[in-house]
A and B are shown apart, each in its own frame.
Chain A
Amino acid sequence: MSLEVHVWGSAFDLPSIDPECLATVCLLNSFMRSEVQWKLIPNFDLSFSPNRTFPVLVDGDQKIAGYDRVLRHLRNRDMLLEPAGPAPELDPSVVSAFLRSQGQQLLDLSLYVSSENYYESTRSAYTKLLPLHINYFLPLSLRASAKARTQHLGLSSLDLDAEEPSDSRKPATNTAIPPPTQTAAQAGKVQKSITSFLRKSPHVDHIRLDSLATSFFDVLEELLAKDYFGMTNEGTRPVDCLLFGYLALMLYPDVPHKWLGDAIRRRYPRIKEHVEHLRRYFLSDLPTPPWSPAPSRGLTAPLYDLGHIVKSSIQISKPSSQAWVGMALLVGCLAFRSGAGRSPAVNYIFPAR
């Protein structure tokens, strides 16, 4: 029996654009027992997945979504050939929680929230993966969720699309009122030049970004140095796949604003070395994973997609759609009122004087 594994497609010279999918590709390619038949399928249709994420493992009738569940399922079916030897000192669940809580934030900021990187690299990477109609809304919704995840960090200046920099750290008192001698046109000019300065400057909020990256990489570097991952044991372990998934997407994408990759390259040689070692192992030493083409879409697919687009675009533009509904109701009420004055039924109830 053959297993199918559906993942996000390849980008940035890596097998997948998503850290968890990348981890899954590495996991299957290095630990799957040789007698198990399996194939990788690049996919983009989130409705295929039971919980709207990739990777999805299709095992007979079962669909299993998410790296953790896939790993559990493969272990239960005894399909993985994991290295023997003492377990690493650091529990794999600790590493995955650490990567998902802190690593994910950094990836979000680097690939999705930062306008430069998103428009120059990430979006074009998705354009190569997605058909036109899905490319219209899916990257946008991924970016919206990345923004939601990093909102509490107060790094909104990275996102130059925000209509006004809504800085939550700003004190309530408004001290930025222009002096009275300044005319409105001048004030507008000042604001414009600040925005253009932000557009030019790649080092907006650099200090805060740097401290975020430092707090993540410092811990990782020290954990690597003290060998809490159990690197010196036999070969790689499943937890290395997840580590590679996140760190490779930090280090390798060729984005215009490379603060994250540069931080690793300049200050954390041990992390860089380890990721490069894993890359050689997972992507060069091992045979290429068995990719197959994306499943063909039936004739009804376009119709289905249309419904999907409408649903998703309503989800994305929630506030504005609410505004439209409100507007429509208002117009309706006004029309009703103006019409009601002339309606005979109403005139009958309230006779004119």
Chain B
Amino acid sequence: MPRHADASGEVKPDAPSSTLEALRRPSVPRRRSIFAIPAPVKQLFNRFPLAMYDANELPLSAPRSRELLRLYVFADGGGDGLEVVSFNPSCLKYQAYLRFRNIQFRVVSSSNHASPSGSLPFLLPKSAGTSGDSQSLDPIPGNKLAKWADGQESKFEEPSDPRSDAYMALVDHSIRRAWLYALYLTSNFRSVIWPLYILPTSSNSLVRWSIGYDLRKAAEAELLKFSPTIDADLLYLEARDAFESLDGILGSDTWFFGAKEPGLLDAAVFAYTNFLLDPNYGSGWTDDWLVGALEGRDGLRRHREQIREQYFVVS
């Protein structure tokens, strides 16, 4: 602020101050930001768009007709038939579960890149006529599929047993971790995972190598979340105990907990046993310690055969 010093050396403020005057003014015109669009330019742009083109056509690989539900999974080939069985446990779990619920769907062989959430499986609902609301057309991610299936009109009694959740933890915790170790961190990675997951994604060996590296790292990180070191023996013992107690609780029943229809736990167990008991995936198991954990579990073998015969058509 400019100040005047008089002869005595005293400093006096400017009087009257121009800022004070400005504040006293009855109405202050609204200040325009320098970033505001000038009026003529704004008027010009208000005329846009001058013309609207039609939306681009969907790519050729996009589903043309959506009369049928489409379940995107990791699988060899896809189709309407019942012969496609996913080789990924979390995909197969829901594939089997939807079959149990007698829901008609088409299996689409896909990869993570197709999924809105970045992971498979997901279900693309069928369009409800031409004027279906967009909400009902959103893809349903895997973890919401069970809830979604509950909302469908189908006469299905989900077997409810409190033990089911506890046994599910056994599958998701003990068996899954042993699975991660056995398939990603042993020589099985090269013989089973490589041909199933990595070869179809790219023909470039550098890309393949990078994806393979990422997968192994991810599996390792997942295992290290629960313990600071990876104890393969303990993982194996836990998996063996898990299969033993699953086999024990199944007993001579057809389905878990003596239910009339198979439920989510049946699907989850089948998702692992189906893969473990099939020696033909990839170029075969080179390290079969996890397969050995199923040794003598005849109940689980019978359970797997039952589901394959009743809900899948496999040669």
| Residues from chain B with Cβ under 8 Å of A223 in the complex | 162-163, 166
Which of A91-99, A117-125, A268-276 lies at the interface? A91-99
The answer on a CB contact under 8 Å between B163 and A66 is no
Q: How large is the interface on B (under 10, 10 to 19, 20 to 34, 35 or more residues)?
A: 20 to 34
The answer on a CB contact under 8 Å between B174 and A228 is no
A149 within 8 A of B: yes
* B41, chain A: closest CB distance, angstroms: 15
* A311, chain B: closest CB distance, angstroms: 13
| Residues from chain A with Cβ under 8 Å of B238 in the complex | 68, 93, 97
C-beta contact mask, B226-249 vs A, less than 8 Å → 1, else 0?
111101001001100110110011
Q: How large is the interface on A (under 10, 10 to 19, 20 to 34, 35 or more residues)?
A: 20 to 34
| Residues from chain A with Cβ under 8 Å of B172 in the complex | 101
C-beta contact mask, A221-258 vs B, less than 8 Å → 1, else 0?
01100101000000000000000000000000000000
Minimum CB distance partner of B242 in chain A: A93
| Residues from chain A with Cβ under 8 Å of B227 in the complex | 51, 53, 66
| Residues from chain A with Cβ under 8 Å of B245 in the complex | 91, 93-94
Of listed B166, B167, B237, B244, residue having the most chain A CB within 10 A: B166
* B276, chain A: closest CB distance, angstroms: 18
B225 within 8 A of A: yes
Question: Which positions 74-96 of chain A face chain B at CB distance < 8 Å?
Answer: 90-91, 93-95
| Residues from chain B with Cβ under 8 Å of A94 in the complex | 163, 166-167, 169-170, 245
| Residues from chain A with Cβ under 8 Å of B229 in the complex | 51-53
The answer on a CB contact under 8 Å between A97 and B234 is no
Q: Tell whether A226 pairs with B162 under 8 Å between CB atoms, given A51-B229, A91-B248.
A: yes
| Residues from chain A with Cβ under 8 Å of B226 in the complex | 100, 104, 149
| Residues from chain A with Cβ under 8 Å of B225 in the complex | 145, 148-149
Minimum CB distance partner of B170 in chain A: A97
Of listed A94, A98, A223, residue having the most chain B CB within 10 A: A94
A46 within 8 A of B: yes
C-beta contact mask, B15-48 vs A, less than 8 Å → 1, else 0?
0000000000000000000010000000000000
Q: Tell whether A90 pairs with B228 under 8 Å between CB atoms, given A69-B234, A97-B173.
A: no
B157 within 8 A of A: no
| Residues from chain B with Cβ under 8 Å of A51 in the complex | 227-229, 231
Question: Which positions 145-170 of chain B face chain A at CB distance < 8 Å?
Answer: 162-163, 165-167, 169-170
* A180, chain B: closest CB distance, angstroms: 8
Contacting residue for A52 out of B166, B221, B228, CB 8 A: B228
- Tell me what chain B mostly uses at the interface: helix, strand, loop, or mixed: helix
Contacting residue for A98 out of B169, B234, B237, B248, CB 8 A: B169
The answer on a CB contact under 8 Å between A66 and B166 is no
* A330, chain B: closest CB distance, angstroms: 24
Taken together as a complex, chains A and B put the C-alpha atoms of A91 and B242 apart, in Å, by 9
The answer on a CB contact under 8 Å between A91 and B231 is no
Minimum CB distance partner of A183 in chain B: B33
* B299, chain A: closest CB distance, angstroms: 14
Taken together as a complex, chains A and B put the C-alpha atoms of A95 and B238 apart, in Å, by 12
A219 within 8 A of B: yes
A195 within 8 A of B: no
Taken together as a complex, chains A and B put the C-alpha atoms of A90 and B166 apart, in Å, by 9
The answer on a CB contact under 8 Å between A100 and B173 is yes
A10 within 8 A of B: no
* A166, chain B: closest CB distance, angstroms: 15
A135 within 8 A of B: no
| Residues from chain B with Cβ under 8 Å of A53 in the complex | 227-229
C-beta contact mask, A15-39 vs B, less than 8 Å → 1, else 0?
0000000000000000000000000
* A183, chain B: closest CB distance, angstroms: 9
| Residues from chain A with Cβ under 8 Å of B234 in the complex | 66, 68-69
A313 within 8 A of B: no
Taken together as a complex, chains A and B put the C-alpha atoms of A90 and B161 apart, in Å, by 12
The answer on a CB contact under 8 Å between B169 and A101 is yes
C-beta contact mask, A146-161 vs B, less than 8 Å → 1, else 0?
0011000000000000
Taken together as a complex, chains A and B put the C-alpha atoms of A148 and B163 apart, in Å, by 28
* B226, chain A: closest CB distance, angstroms: 7
Taken together as a complex, chains A and B put the C-alpha atoms of A75 and B228 apart, in Å, by 25
User: In the complex, given contacts A51-B231, A90-B163, A180-B35, what are 12 additional A-B residue pairs having Cβ atoms less than 8 angstroms apart?
Assistant: A52-B228, A52-B229, A94-B163, A94-B169, A97-B166, A97-B169, A97-B170, A97-B242, A101-B172, A148-B225, A149-B225, A222-B162
Q: A residues within 8 Å of B by Cβ?
A: 46, 51-53, 66, 68-69, 72, 90-91, 93-95, 97-98, 100-102, 104, 145, 148-149, 180, 215, 219, 222-223, 226, 228
List 9 tightest A-B contacts by C-beta distance, closest first. Answer: A91-B245, A222-B162, A52-B228, A101-B173, A98-B169, A93-B241, A51-B229, A97-B173, A97-B170
Q: Please name 21 pairs of A and B residues whose Cβ atoms are closer than 8 Å in the assembled complex, sorted by A.
A: A51-B227, A52-B228, A53-B228, A66-B234, A69-B234, A72-B237, A91-B244, A91-B248, A91-B249, A93-B174, A93-B238, A94-B166, A94-B167, A94-B170, A95-B166, A98-B173, A101-B172, A101-B173, A145-B228, A149-B225, A226-B162
